[in-house]
């Protein structure tokens, strides 16, 4: 199986109104589709988005789009929330979703909706299906292929880590090392890992570096 990393750039006619609103607003830092259920039969599609920004501003815009039949917003942090939404499909949306879910193709979440009106995501599937999908992208959506490779079944960021680095990150996250403000120190992580603080710090530095290098930013 092949995996392709794509960037889709919408024009003013094809961009979803909520993507355009979030992209053009200063109230949001991140907007990602993390789960979806594409029916493909003309019914509403169900999606779950993770958003970093102002939930009140988002909800007001969502209610005014005319594209949503139902939604539920759940706050997950001071400036983060998830949204379950039933979206009323339009022609371009349906065609685009169908293009990357037909045959052997699987779109890998998250789909990142960016402030430059682009969407970035990866698709896994057979070469012929991937080629046909790229040829079938609707007018008004410009496609860029950022990377092509063999799908190895692992998440790129996790796959870049050694077992000891993954353990160090798990322990650090559990203890609160990555909290803001930080509620655990390198010494705390080292004690849990039963190693010297210098060794724990090295594991964390290398793990953070490996994860950052593997991300498509």
Average pLDDT score over the chain:
88
User: What is the percentage of the chain residues whose pLDDT exceeds 70?
Assistant: 92
Q: What is the pLDDT of residue 156?
A: 60
pLDDT in tens, 135-175: 999 999 999 998 898 887 766 666 567 778 889 998 999 99
Task: Give the alpha-carbon dihedral of 214, 116, 24, 72, to 10 degrees.
Answer: -50
Task: Note whether 85 and 69 are within 8 A (CB).
Answer: no
Q: 30-44, 90-104, 171-185, 198-212: which has the highest mean pLDDT?
A: 171-185
Segment 182-197 shows an average pLDDT of 94
DSSP state of 137: P
Give, in order, the Cα–Cα distances in Å from 153 to each of 42, 137, 163. Answer: 32, 26, 17
Among residues 141, 131, 148, 30, the alpha carbon closest in space to that of 94 is found at 141
Of 139 and 38, more confident: 139
Q: What is the chain's length?
A: 217
Give the span between the Cα atoms of 185 and 176, in whole angstroms: 8
95 by DSSP, 3-state: which?
helix
């Amino acid at each position: 199986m092949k995996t392709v990393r794509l960037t889709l750039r919408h024009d003013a006619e094809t961009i979803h109104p909520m993507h355009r609103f979030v992209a053009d607003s200063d109230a949001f830092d991140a907007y990602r589709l993390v789960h979806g259920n594409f029916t493909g039969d003309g019914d509403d599609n169900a999606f779950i988005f993770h958003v970093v920004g102002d939930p009140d501003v988002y909800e007001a815009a969502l209610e005014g789009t005319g594209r949503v039949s139902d939604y539920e917003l759940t706050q997950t942090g001071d400036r983060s929330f998830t949204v379950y939404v039933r979206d009323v499909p339009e022609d371009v949306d349906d065609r685009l979703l169908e293009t990357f879910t037909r045959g052997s193709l699987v779109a890998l979440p998250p789909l990142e909706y960016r402030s430059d009106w682009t969407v970035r995501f990866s698709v896994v599937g057979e070469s012929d299906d991937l080629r046909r999908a790229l040829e079938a992208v609707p007018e008004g959506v410009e496609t860029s292929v950022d990377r092509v490779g063999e799908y190895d079944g692992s998440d790129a960021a996790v796959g870049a880590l050694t077992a000891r680095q993954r353990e160090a990150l798990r322990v650090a996250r559990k203890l609160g090392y990555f909290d803001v403000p930080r509620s655990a120190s390198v010494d705390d992580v080292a004690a849990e890992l039963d190693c010297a603080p210098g060794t724990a710090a090295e594991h964390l530095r290398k793990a953070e570096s490996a994860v950052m290098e593997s991300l498509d930013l």
